[in-house]
A and B are shown apart, each in its own frame.
Chain A
Amino acid sequence: MKYVDEYRDKDMAAALARTIAAEADTGRDYNIMEFCGGHTHAIFRYGVQDLMPGNVSFIHGPGCPVCVLPKGRIDNAIELARDRGAIICTYGDMMRVPATKRVSLLRAKAEGADIRMVYSSQDALRIARENPTRDVVFFAIGFETTTPPTAVALRDAKRENLKNFKVFCNHVLTPSAIQHILNAPEVRTMGQVTIDAFLGPSHVSSVIGSAPYEHFAEEFQKPVVIAGFEPLDVMQSTLMAIRQLNDGRAEVENQYTRVVTREGNLKAQALVSETFELRPSFEWRGLGRVPYSALRIREAFADFDAERAFDIETKPTGDVKGCECPSILRGAKKPTDCRLFGTVCTPENPIGSCMVSSEGACAAYWSYGRFRVPEHDETWEVTQEELAEELAEMEPAE
């Protein structure tokens, strides 16, 4: 496959592995947070960790849009379909994510709610055109990469005066999330988590450019390497981060030059700012409320805003007590540090969101890497009964 195989070449990988082993200082550790689920997926799918020396570790970041969406927002979407008669259009990844009482969009669909899986915002527009008497709500999630297509849908809906089309906006922003992680007490003062450098987002950066990371590379003195999603991209970016750390540099470097520029995609940025504005605060699963970390729909597009049209209120929801998704999303724990991991929480029966999406750290560990999972004694295991108790305590039956 041209333009793909080049970035998965085994000999090139072996050569890069030798260079990394030669240049990594054996007297120290290199803890590198790969921000995106796309990186996590590549690391596991291709076995990149096997090619790294023992002192180079990857810490999996929060860049999985499905994983960071709080349960309350999924509850909102389910309610729109089940109680308000709307057709909910969602990306497939969202379907199995458990919300309150472990109801998912998939289960709500089985129970009769009109929930449809789409591949793009344009599919949702088409469904709205085909069902003029129904409210059709596009469940918009994702980072800066998926925001422009939602903006296009909003603009098209306005142009067509497609009043039954609504967007339930959950778009979030990458730089504020990274800043929030670096500001977290575990990282900043308590020293529980050492993050030496970042592999920065690739597709997000194609839209926003590499410039937005310059501020915190400098302020927090952490190297950032914008890294592509192919395995050789990840390896080359890791080498670049190691070199920065060895040189005592903390800069934004761009490994993904075939796509990312410093300025990004100005046309997409203009479209996004025409349709969206900053939310003062938004709840992230795992990170809590993060200031100025998400977008909402501008007044000019209010007719197409599901939050306004349905007066949506998002209730705060707790996580299952044993579920370590919040710590995992902050890089404070590994999936294998969670007692639910692989015992009661598996991709078939996910408790936390990190087990659902293939970009989630837990799903990647489980599906691609569980032969590496350490052995625990029997006290480690959480039984279904214990879990049921925890669930009952948290979410009393109606």
Chain B
Amino acid sequence: MNQANQPQFATPLNRRKGTIEMNHGAGGRAMVQLIQEVFQAHLSSPELLAGDDGATLSMPAGRVVMASDAHVVSPLIFPGGDIGSLAVHGTINDVAMMGAMPLYLSAAFILEEGFPLSDLETIVASMGRAAHEAGVPVVAGDTKVVERGKGDGVFVTTTGIGVLQDGIGPSGDGAQAGDTVLVSGTIGDHGIAILSKRENLDFETEIRSDSAALHTMVADLIAAGVDLHVLRDPTRGGVATTLNEIAQQSGVGIRINEADIPVKSEVAAACELLGIDPLTIANEGKMLVFCPAADADKALNVMRNHSLGQDAAIIGTIVEDPNGFVQMETSFGGSRMVDWLVGEQLPRIC
């Protein structure tokens, strides 16, 4: 960008002690200063730096996939991530679960008057890092400010677009009797990380959120030729809810084996203490893969060879069942249903 075209500001933003004021969203020079010194500084894609109303993008051949995700997590900064990185990972994963390669993101921020600029900068910098690491730039954005008490610090909505190769198209109704179900790693980490931070539960080892972008693992599965019937990231409602969604969409039953489901021992202990089931807890860096049984070992190997999939496991199979029940053989040797999460277990988990 040409320096000569930039508005000149009398004083730089007070990054250490300053706070968001109503004029940061009012469309005047204060807003331009916030955008330049915070947002453009950390999300420095050429499209964003151009400062236009929208981004002009080149797309490779293929069908376009688009997904959007709003983030209201509390606390804003938690072990293993923050609302900035979460907003990048959440939307990348939504695009990736369609089997597509995510290419671009947009981000809209709703800021509350009085929100510390230092926290905003931490969050935006984290968002920039996450986008850079994932190789998916933020190319468009918007900022609005609401009066004190009308928001809660910051809410972030991201939208992502990506491109789907011909012949690839996992979808929620794609599960077939005989398919194998895999999970890419330990479950429940994100929800327990948030909850332990929120309730000030001190565990001996810090439980960190698993927030991560899964698109490269999906790309590895596609490159290896795994026939992906369904991909889904078990976020709110956890693995239990996602399995029930798929069973309903595909009109099949699912049988899983409790002993095969990877759960970190500290997460299991926290769940025990809090009386909650790890199957119903949100994840932000895990996916469920449904593929033909013949491809299951290949898929497992691909996932385990990826840095985010070392604990991947085969957890169950798809059966014919007009009721669409998800049933589990318990580690104890009995069987039970795995039901949808009922009510609100953890408000504002993502």
Contacts and interface: CB of A to CB of B under 8 A. Distances in A.
Interface of A: 1, 4, 8, 10, 13-14, 17, 44-51, 96, 119, 231, 347-348, 366-371
Contacts, number: 62
A363 to B, nearest CB: 8
B342 interface: yes
A51 B334 CA distance: 7
Q: Which 9 A-B pairs have the closest CB atoms?
A: A47-B334, A50-B334, A46-B332, A347-B342, A368-B336, A367-B339, A47-B335, A10-B333, A47-B330
A347 B240 CA distance: 15
Contact of A369 (B199, B265, B331, B336): B336
12 contacts: A1-B265, A1-B272, A8-B332, A13-B333, A14-B333, A96-B343, A119-B199, A231-B334, A348-B342, A367-B337, A370-B325, A371-B323
Given A47-B335, A231-B332, 15 more contacts: A4-B272, A10-B333, A14-B333, A46-B332, A46-B336, A47-B333, A48-B334, A50-B333, A51-B334, A347-B343, A348-B343, A366-B339, A367-B339, A369-B337, A371-B327
B168 interface: no
B118 to A, nearest CB: 27
A10 B323 CA distance: 29
B50 interface: no
B253 to A, nearest CB: 9
Nearest to B321: A371
A368 B337 contact: yes
B31 interface: no
A324 to B, nearest CB: 20
Contacts of B323: 371
B268 interface: yes
Interface centre among B268, B272, B333 (most CB of A within 10 A): B333
Interface size class of B (residues with CB under 8 A): 20 to 34
B122 to A, nearest CB: 29
Contacts of A231: 332, 334
B331 A45 contact: no
Nearest to A96: B343
Interface in B316-350: 323, 325, 327, 329-337, 339, 342-343
Nearest to B253: A371
Contacts of B259: 10
Contacts of A49: 334
Contact of A13 (B269, B325, B332, B337): B332
A231 B330 CA distance: 11
A50 B333 CA distance: 8
Given A367-B337, A371-B323, A371-B327, A10 B332 contact: yes
A46 B327 CA distance: 12
A6 to B, nearest CB: 12
Interface in B188-238: 199
Contacts of B265: 1
A47 B332 contact: yes
A368 B342 CA distance: 13
Contact of B332 (A48, A96, A347, A366): A48
Contact of B337 (A4, A119, A370): A370
A45 B330 contact: yes
